[in-house]
Amino acid sequence: MMHESDSVRALPIITFDDDELLTAASASAAASADAGVAVDPATGAEIGRFPNQSIADLEAAIDTAEAVQPEWAALDDRVRRAYLHRAADAIEASSEALARLLSREQGKPLNGPNARFEVGACAVWTRSAADTELPVEVLIDDGENHAELHYRPIGVVGAISPWNWPMMISIWQIAPSLRMGNTVVIKPAETTALSVRALVAVMNQVLPAGVLNVVTGPGRTVGAALTRSPKVGKIMFTGSTPVGQQIIEASAANVTRLTLELGGNDAGIVLPDVDPAAIAQDLFWGAFINTGQTCAALKRLYVHDDVYDRVVEELAAVASSVPMGVGLDEGNLLGPVQNRNQFDVVDRLVESAKASGARVVLGGDPDYDAPGNFYPTTLVADIDPHNDLVLEEQFGPVLPIIRYTDLDEAVRLANELDYALGSSVWSADRDAALAVAARLRAGTTWINSHGGLHPAVPFGGAKKSGYGREFGVEGLKAVSEPHVING
């Protein structure tokens, strides 16, 4: 039964402890003949199990979402907003247990811009989706003609979330979709399935039954079936460009609406007027937030020859001072690479740089026999701009630093790749930075920072980094069907 907004605010909320949350996230895994195993990437220890569901399970979830969607859409917008605020309350009530499970399964430490930060962002983005206004637009009203633009729900939204920010990016998909009257079926990445199942369990305390559904299973079967379903009107996906291309093909027959946030290999350009010591901290965290496992992280840094050596020196000083280790240790700020496949990608690219004669300033020497997927914080200097480490997205704790003397050449190198999610310009002169920013091809360009996001500011990529925008008004429009009424 759907409730009025006052009743929604009074819905009871359980505060989960660690064991209760793990039990909720693992629900029905025991009944699964082929349960998935969640492993701590810092230690290799088993955390828990989750159901490996079938295509039949997925279809049942889609049918449920489809059945309840008309009633959810028929609610007054104020009531759906109230549900989202109550869901944010529920996230906050169990925030510590959510953060601890996220830290164990994803690997990110509790402190810094990591697990507690991510769970807090889930509540912030949920409230922002609830509070963003999307009024009816009067397009023309001249006495003879009157036309209005309304935004209607699409229906069932299929959400496919990644392993790097599994809770936060899931919320980016869930919250605006629910706000606009859609229902959701979410398929999380297999290596962070428990985190997303836990988040959904917490939110579903207060959401009406069937509005938000989670299905866990292999991407090649369950995920692929979600993208092909004729009952799904919109797919939201964050992940690699090759998988995004597969989704485009799979969804074509149904003309399914798509929002795709795909791979990034973000460039930063440092101009010669900077104070290296003043920008080193922000450069470091722009590159190494979440141990470098962020789509819009700084992944290749072009530094003018006049300040190159000092920038490298200051970056190395910061990098060597940031502790890396098991996420539940309160003192750590960097964690392991989330899975061994990605660890191997990072290792291959660093070895390619070493073989080319590039200078490893820091790191680059993992202990392959140690438990967990720890790759040391690594800076690589004096590297050819067309080395594999520069051209491919490393998605790990490594930053190549390229020396340049000609700004036009640096801009050309920054723009030459197929990826264009984000970029940044670093300068003491804002006008000079803005002039360079205007020449860069990217969904977002930051000035004297990199990767910061705001729930009111649209975010998305250019070129093969995807299409569609999330957050704010544009994010609500992306999960809606525009409807013009004339007369």
Residue 75's pLDDT is what? 97
Rounded CA-CA distance 409/34 in Å is 53
Question: Residue 146, SS3?
Answer: strand
> What angle separates helix 95-106 from helix 166-179, to the nearest 10 degrees?
130
- Cβ of 143: how many Cβ atoms within 10 Å? 5
Rounded percentage of the chain residues whose pLDDT exceeds 90: 95
Specify the pLDDT at position 458.
98
pLDDT at residue 3 is higher than 60: no
CA 377 to chain centre: 22
Token representation of residue 201 = 């369990």
Give me the pLDDT at residue 89, please.
98
CATH pick for 5-262+465-486 out of 3.40.50.300, 3.40.30.10, 3.40.605.10, 3.10.20.70: 3.40.605.10
Is 144 catalytic? The answer is: no
Neighbours of 32 (CB within 10 A): 18
CA 456 to CA 453: how far, in whole Å? 9
Q: Kindly state the average pLDDT of the residues 358-368.
A: 97
Catalytic annotation on 295? yes
Alpha carbon distance 211, 207 (integer Å): 7
- Cβ burial, residue 314 (10 Å; 0-12/13-18/19+): buried
pLDDT at residue 30, as a whole number: 60
Once rounded to an integer, what is the mean pLDDT over residues 131-156? Answer: 96
CA–CA separation, 375 and 363 (whole Å) = 8
pLDDT at position 343 over 50: yes
380-427: pLDDT as tens digits: 999 999 999 999 999 999 999 999 999 999 999 999 999 999 999 999
pLDDT at 251 over 90: yes
User: Nearest-CA neighbor of 337 among 195, 163, 122?
Assistant: 163
User: What pLDDT shows up at residue 34?
Assistant: 80
Residue 5: its pLDDT value, please? Answer: 78
Please list the residues that pair with 323 across neighbouring strands. Answer: none
Q: What residues pair up with 324 in beta bridges, in sequence order?
A: 334
Q: For residues 278 and 357, what is the distance between their CA atoms, to the nearest angstrom?
A: 30
Radius of gyration of the chain (CA): 23
DSSP state of 470: B
Task: Kindly report, residue by residue over 192-206, the tens digit of the pLDDT.
Answer: 999 999 999 999 999
> What is the C-alpha separation between 402 and 302, in angstroms, rounded?
5
Mean per-residue pLDDT over the chain, rounded? 96
- The alpha carbon of 358 is separated from its chain's Cα centroid by a whole number of angstroms, namely 31
Catalytic residue from among 66, 96, 105, 261? 261
Asked if residues 468 and 138 have their Cβ atoms less than 8 Å apart, the reply is no
**What does the pLDDT average to over 340-363?**
98
pLDDT value of position 10? 87
Which one of 295, 314, 393, 474 is the catalytic residue? 295
Q: Residue 272 burial (CB < 10 Å; 0-12/13-18/19+)?
A: middle
pTM assigned to the model: 0.96
Please say whether the dihedral angle defined by the alpha carbons of residues 282, 287, 291 and 294, taken in this order, is positive or negative. Answer: positive
**For the segment 211-238, what is each residue's pLDDT rounded down to a tens digit?**
999 999 988 999 999 999 999 999 999 9
The rounded distance, in Å, linking the Cα atoms of 224 and 251 is: 9
Question: For 422-440, what is the mean pLDDT?
Answer: 98
Beta-bridge partner residues of 303: 270, 403
Give per-residue pLDDT as tens, 102-125. Answer: 999 999 999 999 999 999 999 999
Q: Please state which architecture CATH assigns to domain 266-453.
A: 3-Layer(aba) Sandwich (3.40)
Residue 346, CA distances (Å) to 335, 381, 445 in order: 14, 16, 25
**CB atoms < 10 A from the CB of 365, how many?**
12
pLDDT (0 to 100) of residue 1: 45
pLDDT at 2 over 80: no
DSSP-derived pairing of the beta strands 359-362 and 298-304: unpaired
Q: What DSSP string describes 191-237?
A: GGHHHHHHHHHHHTTTSPTTSEEE--S-IIIIIHHHHH-TT--EEEE
pLDDT over threshold 80, residue 312 = yes
- Tokens matching residue 26: 């693992």
Tell me: the pLDDT tens digits for 70-83? 999 999 999 999 99
Q: Domain residue spans in the chain?
A: 5-262+465-486, 266-453
φ, ψ of residue 269 to 5 degrees: the values are -120, 120
